[in-house]
Amino acid sequence: MIKKATVVVLILVGLLFSYVALSLPPTGDHEAPAALHVSPRYIEKAYEETKTPNMVCAVLADYRSYDTLGETVVIVVAGIATVFILGVRRPSDEA
Amino acid sequence: MELVQPAFLLVQLVAALIALNHRDLMVAVIMFAAFSFCSALLFTLMDAVDVGFTEAIVGAATTLFYIAVLYRVKRRSSA
Amino acid sequence: MRKGFGSIVLDVAFRHLAPFMILYAVYVLVHGHYGPGGGFQAGAMLGLALCLVQLVQGHDAKPKWGLGMTAGLVLACVGALIYVGIGLAAFVWSGNFLDYGVLPIAAIPAEARALGILGIESGVTLGVMGVIFVIFDLLTRDKGQGA
């Protein structure tokens, strides 16, 4: 009973997502809302301000440095957490 | 050329279903690698070359991790 | 377990593959300004190359080449500290946090920004490399070996 209800709910959610996805702007649309706010400024000024031809690199490491800093710190913290979970010597391992 | 993206999406769907349902975990890992590589190709088709490159390398790294884990657990899943 | 793979072909093939992987990773890092690539990808590739170096040597207590787990973790933390350090260095020349334009490393601010981007990308590379190697080393170590 619960399993059937889960399947029905999943199908409904999938149909809802497909319906919403139909109203998204097409790939590469320069009139999309996401491409109107700060993107033109980056595209016009990125090379002038950073001397970096690859715009992705300039945005990632210069205009959005805080994001990349947080990303790096999250990765390092994940590594440290892995050491704490897997690297400890448990009493059950001794035998 | 229009049909390339739906074809990759179909391959991804089949790979994901096999990875979910197969009893042998090695097959699941290989299907996950195929899923990840199709994602990388899809990103590249959408002109996001940086994202595609990252996805390809992360897919390789996670596949290595999963295979390393397979040597510590039983290879066949019970479910 | 001295033999890496148990097959001489795979062993020799991967032995010759590892240096080129490291070389390509450095290329991806320094070419990130001009094409696809950058710190994260280069770091992941360097980490995979180090895992490969560990694999072809087998599971010895003391491998001849490569890093240990502690060295990998220290390198990861050093990478994050390089990033934060370059960000904090801008304070000295009265700039904002992570504003590389004020650093006196090039004639005009735009070129200083390009060099600053390279600096923080190397920090990201070290961080990702260390973390990937540490996770791989922890997953493949023998049971009960401890930290």
pLDDT in tens, C45-63: 999 999 888 888 776 656 6
Under the banding of pLDDT at 50, 70 and 90, the label for residue C1 is very low
Phi, psi for B75 (deg, rounded to 5)? -75, -25
Residues C61-74 have a mean pLDDT of 79
Asked if C123 and A88 come within 8 Å (Cβ–Cβ), the reply is no
Give me the half-sphere count of Cα atoms (radius 13 Å) on the Cβ side of residue A6: 3
Contacts of A28 in chain B (CB under 8 A): 47
Q: Which of C1, C7, C15 is nearest to C61 (CA)?
A: C1
Alpha-carbon distance B26 to nearest alpha carbon in chain A (angstroms) = 22
Helix, coil or strand: residue A15: helix
CA–CA min distance B61, chain A (Å): 14
Q: Which residues of C touch A68 (CB under 8 A)?
A: 83, 120, 124
CB contact under 8 A, C98 and A69: yes
pLDDT tens for each residue of C127-138:
999 999 999 988
B50 contacts in A (CB within 8 Å)? 56
pLDDT band at C143 (very low <50, low <70, confident <90, very high): low
Is B50 near chain A, with CB under 8 Å? yes
Q: pTM for the full model?
A: 0.85
For chains A and B, CB pairs below 8 A equal 4
Which of C63 and B48 is assigned the larger pLDDT?
B48
B5-12, long-range: CB < 8 A, 24+ apart: B5/B42, B5/B45, B8/B38, B8/B41, B8/B42, B8/B45, B9/B38, B9/B42, B11/B38, B12/B38, B12/B39, B12/B42
CB-based contact (8 Å) between B2 and chain A? no
- The stretches in chain A having pLDDT less than 70 are 89-95
Query: Which pLDDT score, from 0 to 100, does residue C121 have?
Result: 93
In this predicted structure, what is the pLDDT of residue A9?
96
Burial class of residue C44 (count of CB atoms within 10 Å of its CB; 0-12, 13-18, 19+): buried
Q: Which two tokens stand for residue C87?
A: 């960000």
Closest CA to C66 of C137, C143, C142: C137
- Contact assignment for C73 to A56 by CB distance below 8 Å: no
Q: pLDDT at position C83, please?
A: 94
Whether A56 and B47 lie within 8 Å, measured CB to CB? no
**Residue A35 DSSP one-character state:** G
Judging contacts by C-beta atoms under 8 Å, the chain C residues touching residue B72 are 139, 143
Structure confidence at residue A95 (pLDDT): 43
Number of Cα atoms under 13 Å in the Cβ half of residue A20? 5
Q: What is the pLDDT of residue A26?
A: 82
Q: What is the pLDDT of residues C85-128, one digit of tens each?
A: 999 998 988 888 888 888 888 888 888 898 999 999 999 999 99
The CA distance from A13 to A5, in Å, is: 12
What's the pLDDT at A10?
Answer: 96
